[in-house]
Chains A and B, each alone.
Chain A
Amino acid sequence: MSRIEVLEDRCKGCLLCTTVCPVQIIVQSQRFNQNGYKVAEVPEEEKEKCTGCASCALICPDLAIRVYRTPKAKKGED
């Protein structure tokens, strides 16, 4: 499973990441960070849809997104 980590103290709530997500799971949260920006988040129930494509991290102007990817199970295992 892939996932993204939004560094909430860096996010400025520009929401450019929401426009590029191919599965459209990134939304604006209702939380404010200490700078007063409403940060981006992936809701808990949508988390498993993340494909780990890193598009959101690529367009984020503030380096506020880290992307983790888990390699698929090896061919020999199934």
Chain B
Amino acid sequence: MSELQEKLVFDRPESVIDRPTHYCPGCHHGVAHRLVGELLDEMKLREESILIGSIGCSVFLYNYLDIDAVEAPHGRAPAVGTGVKRARPDKFVLTYQGDGDLASIGMAEIMHAANRGERICVVFVNNTVYGMTGGQMAPTTLVGQRTTTCPGGRCRDKEGLPIKMTEIISQLGGVAFAGRASLDSVKNIRTAKKYLRKAFECQVQDRGFGFVELLSACPTNWKMPPVKANERIREEMIPYFPLGVYKDVTEEGGAC
């Protein structure tokens, strides 16, 4: 009897392909993929979406999300997204970028796409390191963090302070939603999903550019076990990258 009543309350969203990922144990890309997949299902956008993949560990995202995709050159996802959205304004356009891709080589593209208020959504996964290429220093690497290109730790005088992308993006005119969430705990994952939903809604309602930064862990390149890497987000990253909504035109009552 109890077998009959048993309900499956948590399973893979339809938009996420049933396939093992190539990510290291404890990598938060999987959580970010799932949140995007759940929202595409819930908002019924799966058949309407075009994904712009970027370079980084998430380069194979088109293997994991069951939606049409274009692979952009390194950092150029917002530029490719602009073209896709202008050619097919009826489609939902989503880019998924890491911090090396978005905040370093792709800085010009993201700034101008946001400033123009392109109707695209950007999922920005910030793990403070270049993951795929072997753990080099990224623009978001924290001061004192050791990487292969700053073996003594990032130095404030030589390499500058980590760039706070969400704060910068939220200052630009065309942005409808900019928020930063973290993937380190159940509560923060739920908040992350809420922010992603808002960013997606801003595009669906033609309000402007949606930007969500997700603080995530890279246990391999941080050279720590996954559980400890998760704690590092809480102890080191969140104090420097404060969580929250930085801009939300839906709350202000007017579109850009």
Binding site for B on A (CB under 8 A): 1, 9-10, 12-16, 18-20, 37, 52, 54-55, 57-63, 65-71
CB-based contact B10/A12 at 8 Å: no
Contacts of B21 in A (CB 8 A): 61-62
Binding site for A on B (CB under 8 A): 2, 5-12, 16, 20-21, 23-31, 34, 185-186, 189-190, 219, 225-227, 230
CB-based contact B10/A70 at 8 Å: no
CB-based contact A16/B9 at 8 Å: no
Main secondary structure on A side of the interface with B: loop
Known interface pairs A14-B25, A16-B227. Does A66 touch B10 (Cβ–Cβ under 8 Å)? yes
What's the nearest-Cβ distance from chain A to residue B221, in Å?
15
Given contacts A12-B25, A55-B186, A60-B31, could you give 19 more A-B pairs where the C-beta distance is less than 8 Å? Answer: A12-B26, A14-B26, A16-B227, A52-B9, A54-B9, A57-B10, A59-B31, A60-B30, A61-B28, A61-B30, A61-B31, A63-B16, A63-B30, A66-B11, A67-B9, A68-B8, A69-B7, A70-B2, A70-B7
Contacts of B5 in A (CB 8 A): 70-71
Contacts of A55 in B (CB 8 A): 186
Complex: A66 Cα to B34 Cα, angstroms: 13
Sample of 11 A–B contacts (CB below 8 Å)? A1-B2, A9-B20, A13-B25, A14-B219, A16-B26, A58-B190, A59-B186, A59-B189, A60-B30, A60-B31, A68-B9
Complex: A54 Cα to B190 Cα, angstroms: 12
